Chains A and B, each alone.
Chain A
Amino acid sequence: MSELRTNRIIPRDGLSAGYSGGIIQIKQTVLTSSLIQNIDAGSNYDFSGFTCVITPTRSDSKIMITSMLSAVMESGNAGYLKIKRNGSYISGSRGDSSGSKELVTTGIPTQDNDKTMGNVFIQFLDSPASTSAQTYMFTISHGDSGQRAIYVNQTDADTNNYQYARGISTMTLMEISG
């Protein structure tokens, strides 16, 4: 059996500006339990029960974050999601500044009724510039004036029969050669 042990894979002629190379290692966190979390107006909820950690082998590596979050926000204003690395928002992972608007990575669908489940897809290429362990996490907020709940991996109704499915959420981190 042939085995390539390496911490960097790039095209023979090197990487052009803006390009990345091959995948070195992959980690994944799978959340199979469900969660209801009330979030106050103007608050940011750190989803600390759903994190993924990767230790880059080289400081010039990039980390591709790919996540599918099964989540829906209680009726009202839209829900919002932001990415944190080691407790801080990642530069370039949120929208450009625009007055007083909250800057987020993406939205979380609001329920149409209590049978709604949402599916939020995120993919972002980060440059942590470190060989220390990197912890990625989501922060969730909403634009409503009152408290609103987020339902993760379940519907609001969550009635005990087959019509009310429960799902999973996954966060996958790939170290990509830089």
Chain B
Amino acid sequence: MASKLRVDSILPVDGAPTGGGGGIIQVKQTFKTDLTTISANGSFQDISGLSVSITPKFNTSKIMIMFTVSNGGSTTGTTHGIRIVRDSTAVGIADASSSRGRATVGEYTAHSNTTNNQAIVSSVFIDSPATTSATTYKLQHIAANGATAYINRSGEFTDSADHPVSTSHITVMELSA
């Protein structure tokens, strides 16, 4: 029989580094393979199918959130932003700067033929939720009012192999700390 180690916490012998974490205790992922269209309204909106819940074993644990979003757009000259939300609180976002959107990552379908493009945006952020209750992490999108975001496809969506359908994901890992 294969050996199996069951343990609640994995730490370096001398403890976790200041501000950091130890080994990975558990992992969850939501992998999105379907298409979503978002009619932007200038506010952050949930991206359907890109949320994941995790119940930390300890309130000292840290949660490492990793995500990738494939995002097509409808118009040129529009900046899209993606942010992480823990339950109802945005985490891993930019410093406040007047009225500018505070995102985790921003992107623009950087191609003159924007509607033929999918921008791939990713990030890794380590959060400290300080709870042992079920915690939901989700991704939200923002763009200018009137713009449209297409998740897992390009804006132009011709029925041909060179307009592929893609995937997005959000993965969470509990780190001992």
A binds B: yes
Which A residues have a C-beta under 8 Å from some C-beta of B?
1-7, 9, 12, 22-28, 30, 32-34, 54-55, 57, 66-68, 70, 72, 109-113, 115-119, 121, 153, 155, 158-168, 170, 172, 175
Is chain A's binding surface mostly helix, strand, loop or mixed?
loop
A32 with B17: CB separation less than 8 A: no
Q: Which of B10, B80, B124 contacts A9 (CB 8 A)?
A: B10
Q: For chain B residues 35-74, which have a beta carbon within 8 Å of chain A?
A: 42-43, 58, 62, 64
CA distance in complex: A121, B43 (Å) = 26
Which B residues have a C-beta under 8 Å from some C-beta of A?
2-3, 5-14, 16-17, 19-24, 42-43, 58, 62, 64, 76-81, 92-95, 97-108, 110-112, 119-126, 142-144, 175-176
CA distance in complex: A163, B94 (Å) = 14
A162 with B126: CB separation less than 8 A: no
CA distance in complex: A12, B77 (Å) = 54
CA distance in complex: A159, B104 (Å) = 18
B107 with A119: CB separation less than 8 A: yes
* Known contacts A26-B64, A26-B175, A166 near B106 by CB under 8 Å: yes
18 new A-B contacts, CB < 8 A, other than A24-B12, A32-B94, are A2-B6, A3-B8, A3-B9, A4-B11, A25-B16, A28-B125, A30-B92, A33-B94, A68-B122, A109-B110, A115-B108, A116-B110, A117-B107, A119-B105, A160-B100, A162-B99, A166-B106, A168-B123
Q: Which of B12, B42, B97 contacts A25 (CB 8 A)?
A: B12
A164 with B10: CB separation less than 8 A: no
Q: Which of A9, A161, A168 contacts B94 (CB 8 A)?
A: A168
Q: Which of A33, A54, A117, A161 contacts B108 (CB 8 A)?
A: A117
A172 with B124: CB separation less than 8 A: yes
Chain B residues whose CB sits within 8 angstroms of the CB of A167 once the complex forms: 81, 94, 103-106
Instruction: List 6 A-B pairs, Cβ < 8 Å.
Output: A2-B7, A2-B9, A4-B9, A28-B126, A160-B100, A162-B100
CA distance in complex: A170, B64 (Å) = 12
B7 with A112: CB separation less than 8 A: no
CA distance in complex: A3, B121 (Å) = 36
